[in-house]
Structure 1
């Protein structure tokens, strides 16, 4: 569920949520809006969003924050979302009976959700446009 990487002196913390019951098409706009934000602003945005899947995204983000705090002793106030992306998982195929003995398919897609956090520095704050 967690992993830390060291790239060019930047510490990264990752949290992965597998088998999220939503399509990638519905997840991508939510995740794009989170990239570059401080984690407290991102949690606030997810809290007041009216999308159903925002609860799962919030749970994954909270897990990444807990990993950063407990496993790597990072300061929560300095954490920003470096990357957030999703990928396809399995698709359950179901059929709905229709008129005249026909059937129409119902696709129930699942997704993988990954959020990567990093500690912000002065340069990253200016680059991402966050205040603090």
Structure 2
């Protein structure tokens, strides 16, 4: 018989991609995610390509994955895709330290983040 198919987590005209363990703080990643929210995917890809922020390459990879999921898994038209949602979450934090003066210990935190991008197909208004 087999198992029943899992229900979709997104709507019929949406596709999603998620990237975990991005080595940057959620606050810095959210600045890049805010840059692409609500834009058409071609414009978002070009903005990420020419962005000076280090993490924009990883965000671009996640967006390309969401576009590929929309095209191959859900049969959506790539030319009509818009970045519907791009949100950031916290992941683990590595705790490191550095010896300081007079026997103290300076704490260094190295945060990780995760990024979720949803793209939606919208029909052009005539």
TM-score, normalised with respect to structure 1: 0.84
Say which one has the larger Rg.
Answer: 2
Kept in 1: contact 2:66–2:117 (CA 8 A): yes
1:44 alignment partner in structure 2: 46
Provide the rounded CA distance (Å) in 2 between the counterparts of 1:120 and 1:23. Answer: 32
Shift of 1:5: 2.0
- Deviation sequence 1:31-59 (CA, Å, 0-9, x none): 11211111011010000001000011001
Alpha-carbon shift at residue 108 of structure 1 (Å): 0.4
TM-score normalized by the length of structure 2: 0.87
Number of the residue aligned with 1:5: 10
Instruction: For residues 42-89 of structure 1, give each alpha carbon's deviation from its aligned partner in whole angstroms, at most 9, with x where no partner exists.
Output: 010000001000011001001001111111121111000000000011
Query: Partner of 1:17 in structure 2?
Result: 19
Residue 121 of structure 1 and its aligned partner are, at CA, apart by 2.1
Separation (CA, whole Å) in 2 of partners of 1:53 and 1:28: 10
CA distance in 1, matches of 2:9, 2:89: 20
Secondary structure, aligned partner of 1:5: coil
Alignment of 1:39-78 (within 5 A): 39-78=41-80
From the two aligned structures, give the one with the greater strand fraction: 1
